[in-house]
């Protein structure tokens, strides 16, 4: 079974590393905000000891900042935990939309740095994907990297799962820079992950859409 990962070579490891780096940056930002708010409480305490009145509204705002950042860190860590456990099983049934939302969340910081907004559209009915969840996450991530690199700042890239009579599809719309040539012809990592998953790819340059055929 590990042959599935052998096929993608260093690409899977790079993916894991990039997600970990992005998460650590996000957590650093959360800690920085908590640190400044703790410091502010210290400053206000020092001022109060010198006789300055304490403004309850200012304390309340600081407490709300703590609460907000704790929730933010919790969401980041929940996503990290789900992602880390995606290598537990080589094959399982997953909800495609849930998986796409997870990868979009993991890629949100990278997208924000390129001033791209990522959105997902939930299907009317749940769509199940049976296969290797880590490989599918890797494939969606690589496509999002491509989208972020090729799309103009300020645009929205939307991920839309679809189930047809014959196939499970994932459309990535709003992408700039798509040609008739498939992106995997320029990207060995993308090609390897597609091959390992048995996934296909099609482009619609006029519709700014890349479509993954997942089986």
Partner 1 sequence: MRILLVDDETEFVATLAERLSFRNMEVDYATKAAEAIELASRKSYDLAVLDMKMPGISGIELKGMLEKQCPGMKYIFLTGHGSEEDYRAGSSEASGYLVKPINIDILVARIKKALEAR
Binding residues (CB under 8 A) for partner 1: these are 24-25, 28-29, 31-37, 39-40, 43, 47, 62, 65, 68-69, 112-115, 153
Min CB(213)–partner 1 separation in Å: 33
Q: Work out the angle at residue 37's Cα, subtended by the Cα atoms of residues 80 and 39, and round it to the nearest 5 degrees.
A: 120
Min CB(159)–partner 1 separation in Å: 20
Nearer to partner 1, 121 or 156 (CB): 156
Report CA dihedral (101, 122, 197, 187) to the nearest 10 degrees: -70
Min CB(19)–partner 1 separation in Å: 15
* Phi, psi for residue 95 in degrees, rounded to 5: -75, 120
* Phi, psi for residue 129 in degrees, rounded to 5: -115, 130
Nearer to partner 1, 94 or 116 (CB): 116
Which residue in 41, 11, 48 sits closest to 184, CA to CA?
A: 11
Min CB(71)–partner 1 separation in Å: 13
Nearer to partner 1, 37 or 168 (CB): 37
Min CB(24)–partner 1 separation in Å: 7
Nearer to partner 1, 27 or 182 (CB): 27
Element (H, E) at 30: helix 10-49
* Phi, psi for residue 164 in degrees, rounded to 5: -105, 180
Which residue in 177, 129, 127, 130 sits closest to 150, CA to CA?
A: 177
């Amino acid at each position: 079974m590990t042959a599935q990962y052998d096929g993608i070579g260093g690409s899977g490891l790079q993916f894991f590393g990039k997600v970990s780096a992005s998460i650590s940056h996000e957590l650093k930002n959360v800690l920085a905000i908590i640190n400044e708010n703790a410091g502010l409480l210290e400053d206000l305490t020092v001022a109060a000891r010198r006789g300055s009145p304490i403004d309850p509204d200012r304390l309340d705002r600081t407490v709300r900042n703590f609460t907000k950042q704790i929730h933010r860190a919790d969401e980041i860590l929940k996503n990290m935990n789900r992602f880390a456990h995606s290598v537990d099983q080589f094959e399982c049934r997953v909800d495609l939309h849930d998986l796409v939302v997870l990868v979009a969340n993991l890629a949100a910081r990278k997208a924000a740095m390129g001033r791209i907004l990522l959105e997902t559209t939930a299907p009317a009915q749940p769509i199940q994907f049976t296969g290797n969840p880590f490989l599918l996450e890797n494939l969606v991530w690589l496509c999002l990297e491509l989208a972020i690199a090729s799309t103009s700042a300020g645009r929205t890239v939307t991920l839309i799962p679809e189930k047809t009579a014959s196939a499970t599809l994932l459309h990535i719309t709003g992408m700039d820079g798509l040609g008739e040539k498939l992106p995997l012809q320029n990207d060995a990592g993308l090609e390897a992950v597609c091959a390992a998953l048995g996934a296909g790819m099609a482009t619609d340059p006029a519709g700014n859409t890349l479509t993954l055929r997942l089986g």
